[in-house]
Amino acid sequence: MEHIINIVKSLFEPVGILLTLIILLILNTWIFKRMKSVTSDGNIAKRSISFSIILIGVLVFILSLPIDKSLKGQIMSFLAIIISAGIALSSTTILGNLIAGFMNNSMNRFRNGDLIKIGDLQGRVTKKSIFHTEIQLEDSNFITIPNLYIANNPVKLTRKTNTVISTSVSLGYDVSRIRIEETLKEAAILTGLTDPYVYITDLGDFSVAYKIHGFLDDSNKFFSTQSLLNGNVMDNLHKKGIEIVSPTFMNQRRVDEKEFIPTKDVKKSIPKNESSPEQLIFSEAIESGKIEKKKDYLKEIDKKQELLKEELKQLKDKKEIERAKATISRNDELKAKIEKNIEEQINKNKDSA
């Protein structure tokens, strides 16, 4: 009986450590929920702390076990071998993605809602984590890209405003360059682009390659504007009597001098209130970008609150003190509303996913 009691007593410390470990993990989760830390940095910090707690807890638990010191040493050595082997085997994948994730987040290369291009993949960022980044492609589907791949490849970030839209067309030498450039600039202006300019990118054997550029105010309409520019370039060239034909025609007109310009169609007016395709395609990425903007606004409110509280300490006039307190109170209410709205949006996105 005494032997059993001694065994039970010796287990008090290991059991206490396990309970402490569980309490610390629960406390870590609770703290981050209270902080409403829904950013990628907050998730990374939360997971890093949880991992550290588990690792330290396991080591302390092994050291507290009522077993011989030599056996503890063997267990610790075995655990060290497993950890070393795991790090060695996953160094090119898991560990590499983890390090790349920290690097991408610290450099702040892009944010949720941004339009990026990595290799042949182009879309809007919807989620960033420590191991991968999720983007919504132009077909509205999602793709997960390992952070290591992003770190090893150039990332093209499209500007939110004044981004350049361009398209190329090959035309014959028999048409005046000035006439073509004027026609292409008109097409760009019809598309809604500003400050259009033309580059001659290639002088081929049978044709000249022209590239029209223009500035787009809102990159949220990047893909639809690209398509509209292509259509306007075709329509405007045909309207001005400029043929777009294959270079294989060369100068051999064996088609009874027929011009390859389609008949003019009646242009249907597009309703002004009609949603752009990007609003449907990148719905989740757009929502994610809106959440990021709201988080930035929360940071601005926090800075204003700190300044107001510092000013409040120096105020002596009662009316000014009351006015400052009222402003602080309004900012707190606004902050609470924005935080609630962010939480509702995140839950809505999770339900629709």
For 24-62, what is each residue's pLDDT tens digit?
888 877 777 776 544 555 566 677 787 788 888 888 877
CA distances from 154 to 98, 130, 217, 305 (A): 18, 19, 25, 39
Question: 188: pLDDT confidence band, cut at 50, 70 and 90?
Answer: very high
* pLDDT at residue 228 greater than cutoff 90: yes
**Mean pLDDT of the chain, nearest integer:** 79
68 three-state secondary structure: coil
- Which range among 101-105, 109-113, 132-136 shows the weakest confidence by mean pLDDT? 101-105
Average pLDDT over residues 217-240: 89
Token representation of residue 2: 């005494």
Would you state the pLDDT for residue 233?
93
Question: 186: pLDDT confidence band, cut at 50, 70 and 90?
Answer: very high
Residues 6+ apart with CB under 8 A from 214: 164, 165, 166, 188, 189, 191, 193, 194, 195, 196, 197, 229
Residues 126 and 114: beta-carbon distance below 8 Å:
no
The fraction of the chain above a pLDDT of 90, given in percent, is 12
Q: HSE on the CB side for 79, CA within 13 Å?
A: 14
Would you state the pLDDT for residue 214?
92
Which tens digit of pLDDT belongs to each residue from 258-268? 665 666 655 55
Question: 8: pLDDT confidence band, cut at 50, 70 and 90?
Answer: low
First to last CA, the chain: 58
* pLDDT at residue 236 greater than cutoff 80: yes
* pLDDT at residue 181 greater than cutoff 60: yes
* pLDDT at residue 71 greater than cutoff 90: no
* pLDDT at residue 257 greater than cutoff 90: no
Q: Has this prediction a pTM greater than 0.75?
A: no
Q: Which residue has the higher pLDDT, 335 or 106?
A: 335
Residues 134 and 140: beta-carbon distance below 8 Å:
no
Would you state the pLDDT for residue 213?
93
- Distance, CA of 11 to CA of 5 (rounded, Å): 10
Would you state the pLDDT for residue 185?
93
Question: 241: pLDDT confidence band, cut at 50, 70 and 90?
Answer: confident
Would you state the pLDDT for residue 110?
81
CA angle 50, 52, 56 (to 5 degrees): 120
Would you state the pLDDT for residue 183?
93
Q: Which residue has the higher pLDDT, 348 or 343?
A: 343
Would you state the pLDDT for residue 193?
92
* pLDDT at residue 69 greater than cutoff 90: no
Sequence length of the chain is: 353
* pLDDT at residue 283 greater than cutoff 90: no
- Which range among 108-112, 157-161, 183-187, 284-288 shows the weakest confidence by mean pLDDT? 284-288
Would you state the pLDDT for residue 346?
72
H or E segment to which residue 167 belongs: strand 163-171
